[in-house]
Amino acid sequence: MSSVAWGIKSLRRRRLRTTLAVLGIAISAAMLLDMVMLSGGIEKSFAELLTAKGFQIRITPKGTLPFDTEASLAPIGNTLEKLRADSAVAAAGAVLGTSLYGGGRDSIVTLFGYGVQPEAQGLYSVQRGADLSPSDSVGVLLSTPAASLLEADLGDTVTLIGRLDPQVVNARISRKLVVRGMVRWVYDYRGQPSVGTTLPVMQMLAYGRAEDRASLILVKTRNDLAAPALAVRLRQEFPRLEVYSVADLVRLFRQRLVYFRQLSYILGTLSLVVSVLLIATLLTINVNERLGEIATLRAIGVARSSIVRQVLTEGAVLTGLGACLGIVLGLLTARYLDGILTSFPGLPAAFSFFVPRRESLTTAALVLLVAGSLAGLYPAWLASRAPIAAVLRSEAT
């Protein structure tokens, strides 16, 4: 009988014990998979979020991250002209982010406003209706939460308020705008009520007058691979501005969330240790219970290598069954945990902590299989070194 057949037969003798062991390995495997997805998923999800609309470079005021502060770029007209004249730049558009208010039916609601240049925007995708045109001075785009608060739909007129007098709660600056489209803003957190207008309209709402200001500039390169080199060149050309490529922002993001990576490494290591100890303990118990059988096999001429392969096969079978069940369990728990973590305030709704990738599944499975196989080395050594005569004598008495 082959080593695989002997191993499976041995595990089937103690079905309850084997089932509990497989469940324990599955739980550890699920945790290991989740931690592998967490360690690399955050960066991948953030990078995909940044390049969702194809803009690989962000330009902000010196010392700030996009929308990190209320600092603004001014003037932006000359900067945009230079960027658009660059042969490596496919598109460049300015964005102004500011707090706004909207006139609801019975009250005033708080909104977040984006001033965009529709011809070069990387912030939204139109879900219903139409996009703004570059010269549109009376149109507005709404997110679903904003449309709900304003009780507005396509074609309706809404009132946006740029400034409120805090003493009498009257609008100092307001504009009546027509809803052109319903959009999904890429960087909005879940439930964020956001609106968008063309940049000149938002500048007027934010400052009360024509101001050549913006919060950041988005730059799309003609070649994705040329983005890092272009970012270096733009830093030299605009030393008073902060220039970030996607790689720069991912690195800064990784530094801010380094504790998530540390947590994933710690919990992943613990889950792997638990799996190894569980497999080694179960196989050691099985070997001790079967010493008489093993000694008999040795006495009739079965080689030590066959005994070793049998024990190692038991460990591989246990690990394989636990890993298969653990992958399914890990994917289910990852979806649940991702829903909890992404509900934290301030995180974009499109962001994910746990990103299932083929590499993650492969890495977790290989690490677990190798660890499970190694866990059988000590029980296999015990089985191969069992004293034949002493064991047979003990069994006979």
- 214 and 265 in a common domain: no
Q: Would you state the pLDDT for residue 5?
A: 65
Q: Would you state the pLDDT for residue 275?
A: 81
The parent domain of residue 362 ranges over 3-49+256-396
Domain boundary among 183, 206, 239: 239
- 81 and 9 in a common domain: no
Domain boundary among 183, 214, 239: 239
Is the peptide bond between 228 and the residue preceding it cis, with omega within 30 degrees of 0?
no
Q: How far is residue 269's CA from residue 263's CA, in Å, rounded to a whole number?
A: 10
Q: Would you state the pLDDT for residue 169?
A: 47
Q: How far is residue 4's CA from residue 249's CA, in Å, rounded to a whole number?
A: 51
Report if residue 55 sits inside a domain. no
**Tens-place pLDDT, residues 244-256:** 888 787 777 777 7
pTM of the model: 0.69
Q: Would you state the pLDDT for residue 73?
A: 85
- 21 and 73 in a common domain: no
- 275 and 157 in a common domain: no
- 181 and 213 in a common domain: yes
Q: Would you state the pLDDT for residue 201?
A: 92
CA angle 134, 73, 100 (to 5 degrees): 65
Nearest to 115 by CA among 194, 13, 208, 233: 194
**Tens-place pLDDT, residues 349-376:** 667 777 777 777 787 778 877 887 778 7
Strand partners, 59: 217, 243
- 280 and 195 in a common domain: no
Report if residue 58 sits inside a domain. no
Residue whose token pair is 């063309």: 198
Task: For the chain, list residues with pLDDT below 70.
Answer: 1-11, 40-41, 52, 67-69, 104-106, 163-172, 297-298, 301-302, 345-347, 349-350, 386-397
Report if residue 250 sits inside a domain. no
- 227 and 84 in a common domain: yes
Report if residue 249 sits inside a domain. no
Q: Would you state the pLDDT for residue 168?
A: 42
- 197 and 171 in a common domain: yes
The domain tally of the chain equals 2
- 231 and 110 in a common domain: yes
Domain boundary among 191, 207, 239: 239
Report if residue 78 sits inside a domain. yes
- 233 and 94 in a common domain: yes
